Amino acid sequence: MGYAVAADLAKRLECAQLAAAFECQTCPNPPPSRRTPNASPLKIRLYLRKRLPGA
């Protein structure tokens, strides 16, 4: 078995293990929203303009 085949097999196994772990977990509450209620699109644009030069 070549290195590339072994690496691909390991990656697939890891993905399967991660998927199985997530399926076993229960999520009673949805995750909290990242967006704050007072973040208007204008405020977001102004914030990004200050943070990102050339934006």
Q: What is the Cα–Cα distance from 47 to 52, expressed in whole angstroms?
A: 9
Write the CA distances from 43 to 30, 35, 53, integer angstroms: 26, 12, 16
The single-letter DSSP state of residue 52 is S
- For residue 31, report the phi and psi dihedrals to the nearest 5 degrees: -65, 150
pTM of the model: 0.32
What's the pLDDT score for residue 49?
Answer: 81
Q: Which tokens is 33 given? A: 């929203």
pLDDT digits (tens, 9 = 90+) for 1-55: 576 777 777 777 777 777 676 666 665 666 666 655 666 778 777 888 887 766 5
What's the pLDDT score for residue 29?
Answer: 64
What's the pLDDT score for residue 38?
Answer: 67
